[in-house]
Amino acid sequence: MQIRRQGAVGDISGVPFLMGVLGGSFWLRYGLLKMDYTMIIVNVVGVSFMAFYCVFFLVYSLPKGVVLKNREVSTLPLPMCVANFLVSSQWCLYGNLVADIYIIIPNGIGMFLAIVQLSLFVVLPIRENEKSPLEKLANWFTGRSKLEKKEKDLEGGECSTTPPPSPQKVANSIDDDEESEINERFEKLMAETSSTSDSRRGSGDFMGRPPSYKSRSSSV
């Protein structure tokens, strides 16, 4: 479905389809040797589907890249990896039930390889320039994700939600030198105001006082 939507195989690997055909064929041959109808029926269906997938892949085939080179798992089909793990584990269980070591060993190896593939989805990011689920989990535990969110908010120009400081805190922030300087200026201003008022009061008394006639008579 993914190949059909994008019109090409892109970076999707065709190895799982080829291995499905080869593995199913070998298991079908083994089932025929033992005349185990459970293995025969299942692998006939599996080989048929895988052969169809290979033909479909060849039709849409184009040059591709690799997962470890790009350091991301967008090219790795997760549903097929999960199905591979489930199928291998079920066949391994079936081998234990029938006590057949030739079924247990190869499917045990396939189950291990499927676990390795699934672990890549935890260690590597899904797409380039993204974080892997393991890294996101580590950031969540350490609280780093919240810090990065705040940094992004600041870079985006969002307003800070911190309330403005109270007048009391602003007043307390003035140091002793500034406070003494303000007091000196206030006292100087009060002194100048007081001297100005005294001079105005003296000139008013002089202008308002009548002239002395005694001085006139003496002069006459």
Tell me what the pLDDT averaged over the chain comes to: 76
pLDDT tens-digit map of 41-65: 999 999 999 999 988 888 887 555 7
pLDDT tens-digit map of 12-45: 778 888 888 999 999 999 999 999 999 999 999 9
What pLDDT is recorded for position 7? 81
Share of the chain above pLDDT 90, in %: 24
What pLDDT is recorded for position 166? 56
> Which pLDDT band, with edges at 50, 70 and 90, does 217 fall under?
very low
More confident residue, 127 or 7: 7
What pLDDT is recorded for position 125? 81
Write out the two tokens for 177: 């030198």
Write out the two tokens for 21: 């055909």
What pLDDT is recorded for position 10? 75
Q: Is the overall model pTM greater than 0.75, yes or no?
A: no
